[in-house]
Amino acid sequence: MPSKSKEVEVTTLCLSIIREMTINEIQEEIIEEFAGFEDWMDKYAYLIELGTDLQGLDEQYQTDQNLIKGCQSKVWFNASLEEGKVKLEADSDAIIVKGIAALLIRVFNNQTPEDIMNADLNFIDEIGLKQHLSPTRSNGLVSMVKQIKMYGIAFNHVK
C-alpha cells in the first residue's frame, strides 16, 4: 500500500508538471485512490502515512493566527499567494488530522483564489470522512475547509 501511494504521488507530480490539474480532477483522483482500500484500517493507515509525510510548518508559522479554532487537536494552516496561485502549508499535532490536512492541500494547493472560492468539495463525502464533517466534530475538518476558503476570498480581494 505505501508503494501504491508513492506511485500515485509520482503520477500526480508528473501530471501537474504536464498540466495543472483542476480541483475536481484532483478530487476524482483521491476518490479513486480511496475506493481501492479494503477496510477502515487501510484508509486510516494511509491517512497516517500522509500525515507523517506532510512536511510540517515551521514553528514561526505555528501562530495563533494560523491556528484553526474548534479542533481537539491543533491545526495550523499557512497560506501565501505566488504568481496568482495560493500556496498552502499545514501542520497538526494529531497525525490523522495532519493526513486530512494533506489531502486538502493536495486539492487546493496551487489553485487560484477564485477556483478555491468556488470549489465544490465532494471528495470528503465520497471517501467516507463525512463523519468528520459535522460542524461540531472536534477535528474541525469544517473549520479547515472554511479557513482555506477564507484564504481564497482574501487573496481574491487582494488581487
39 Cβ neighbours under 8 A, 6+ residues apart: none
Q: Is 122 left (phi over 0), alpha (psi -120 to 50) or beta?
A: alpha
Taking CA atoms, 92 is separated from 13, 17, 28, 51, 71, in Å, by 24, 28, 25, 9, 10
Residue 152 near residue 87, CB atoms below 8 Å: no
Grid coordinates of 68: 484553526
Q: Does 133 bind another protein (CB under 8 A)?
A: no
Q: Return the H-helix or E-strand segment holding 68.
A: none
The type of residue at 21 is M
Q: Does 64 bind another protein (CB under 8 A)?
A: no
Q: Does 72 bind another protein (CB under 8 A)?
A: yes
Grid coordinates of 76: 495550523
Stretch that binds another protein, among 15-23, 25-33, 56-64, 90-98 (CB under 8 A): 90-98
Q: Out of 71, 86, 124, 148, which one is annotated catalytic? A: 71
Tell which one of 31, 45, 67, 150 touches another protein (CB under 8 A): 45
Residue 109 beta carbon to another protein: minimum distance, rounded to whole angstroms: 23
Q: Does 61 bind another protein (CB under 8 A)?
A: no
Q: Does 139 bind another protein (CB under 8 A)?
A: yes
Residue 95 near residue 52, CB atoms below 8 Å: yes
92 or 111, CB closer to another protein?
A: 92
Tell which one of 17, 18, 41, 158 touches another protein (CB under 8 A): 41
Query: Is 71 a residue of the active site?
Result: yes
Q: Please give the residue ranges that form the binding site for another protein (CB under 8 A).
A: 2, 40-41, 44-45, 48-49, 72-74, 93-97, 138-139
